[in-house]
Amino acid sequence: MAQYGSDSYLQCAKLPMKSVTLHQPPLDELADVLQDALAKNFKAASVKVSDCPDLSQPPFNLSSPGLGGQSTLLDIGSATYLTPVAHRNKIYDLKDIAHTIGLEPTFIIGAGLGPWPHTKVNCEMIADLTIKDNGISNQTRIAHIVNEKCQLDQLPASETRCMILINLFCSKGQNAKVLEVKCKGRTGQDDIISCMRQAIQNKYKDKLIGLGGTFLLSESKAKQHIMPDFSDIPLDTPQAVQNWIKFYQQHPPLVAVGTFVSTDPGLDLKVQHFHGINSSGEGGHFYTDTQPELATYIGYFAIGEILHKIDQP
Ligand SMILES: [Zn+2]
């Protein structure tokens, strides 16, 4: 294990990368599509085009205020690097990636695996960092399991690595028009993100549309998972993976960050991926609310201009 030192990572410039220009329908059209779908899945739903509130303020407390400017989705690595045995060498550095693809300054949010060489244990990463003027404001949290419970830590500014499978939304962090999504009282089976993603796929078919952003879930607990440390026993069936992952009901209010895309045009994309944290020291990979009649969401999502797939198997 010594070969994966405190500063090692795979250089982005040497990794395969595919870039796709994303389809960008008018935001007001997208708002109508989302509102129609959410209204069928929630007691109350409204979606409108609005200015982005200052996301650096409560309740979101992110590292930059807005989601605008050079909006980019990054899908790095692959789920196939996690099973049956984790590829511990699949370590990437977000500062290196941002620099290599010309994303500086940049505000990065999203979901993936955190830097195992830093924590010495597999962890969920709730990415939130701003790279600007050679400085880094790193509010990225990592969640791992200690004595069966979640431990949530913040990464230092110097630790900008991630691993194996990561989905990120990058922008200049500027104010720009976004979709404001409000919904309450889930009546359908779909989680909020699946509902939005399927609605966009149904409307725009094989056109690739990608969004990223953040939402606040209040009033309901959330089903989230945290992966234990990498398994020594090969995880060679979906059931083995399900048995390995630990599921939790985590408390509201929960702030989640991530991305979703309408379809996968053969790039091995993870079509939706959000991680959330709360102020009680809990965090993980978001599935859905667990008290649907109470669940109350407010989210801000921006549309991506381009998607980069990095290190596709
Ligand atoms: Zn995840």
CA dihedral 72, 62, 279, 75 (to 10 degrees): 10
Closest C-alpha among 131, 77, 134 to residue 109:
131
Q: Report the predicted TM-score, pTM, of the whole model to 2 decimal places.
A: 0.97
Tell me the pLDDT of the chain averaged across its residues.
96
Position 1 confidence tier, pLDDT thresholds 50, 70, 90: very low
CA of 285 to the centre of ligand 1 (A): 4
Ion ligand 1 residue ranges (Cβ < 5 Å): 111, 285
Give alpha helix (H) positions in 251-302: none
For residue 161, the number of C-alpha atoms closer than 13 Å in the C-beta half-sphere is: 23
Query: Bigger pLDDT: 4 or 193?
Result: 193
Q: Taking a C-beta distance cutoff of 8 angstroms, is the pair 67, 169 a contact?
A: yes
- Distance of CA 222 from the midpoint of ligand 1 (Å): 14
Query: Cis ω on the peptide bond leading into residue 105 (within 30° of 0)?
Result: yes
User: 3 falls in which pLDDT band (50, 70, 90)?
Assistant: low
Question: What integer pLDDT is reported at residue 59 of this predicted model?
Answer: 97
Å from CA of 83 to ligand 1 middle: 14
Question: What is the 166 CA–ligand 1 centroid distance (Å)?
Answer: 8
| 124 Cα–ligand 1 center, Å | 6
Reply yes or no on whether the pLDDT at 245 is more than 70: yes
CA of 130 to the centre of ligand 1 (A): 21
165 C-alpha vs ligand 1 centroid, how far in Å?
Answer: 8
The answer to whether residues 285 and 224 touch, using CB atoms and an 8 Å cutoff, is: yes
